[in-house]
Amino acid sequence: MANSITLSTAESCTGGALAQILTSRPGASHMFMEGFVVYSNEAKIKNLGVLQKTIQNFGAVSEEVAREMALNCQKIANSTVSISITGIAGPGGSENKPEGRVCFGLKYNRTSIAKTIEFGAIGRENVRTKSVKYALDLLLETVTFKVNNEKAELL
């Protein structure tokens, strides 16, 4: 299946919840390559090759880091699609990086997306749940569009 889509994930604030959902159905191993939980900055650097300079310049919760996470995840896992999540689930945050801010990265072929969503201070579990749902919607929207245009097969 030369045109099948394979998927990998890189997660921080969701702690692997996206990968858990993606692998919860039988047959997921045909599509899901691997997932990374890179909660600390050190893990982002060591396991995904996010540049320390990027984290220093923009912070771990930034579109720049989310983009690097997705790009490097795709390369390491050798997947056709990768999606990343990094954010502040709470409690806490700061004036510049408030609780509920989550950045997403997605890499598919030549498409590279980075988005920031402000979920607000709605509680840790709610931020994590909404982040996973948003990631799934972003993934579905992007892959469905690409599948229709490129006639790729999503297993």
Q: Which of 57, 69, 142, 58 is closest to 104 using CA atoms? A: 69
pLDDT tens sequence for the chain (155 residues): 446 889 999 999 999 999 999 999 999 999 999 999 999 999 999 999 999 999 999 999 999 999 999 999 999 999 999 999 999 999 888 888 999 999 999 999 888 999 999 999 999 999 999 999 999 999 988 877 555 555 444 33
**To which CATH superfamily is domain 7-145 assigned?**
CinA-like (3.90.950.20)
Alpha-carbon span 153 to 142, nearest angstrom: 14
Degrees, nearest 5: CA angle 121-125-126? 55
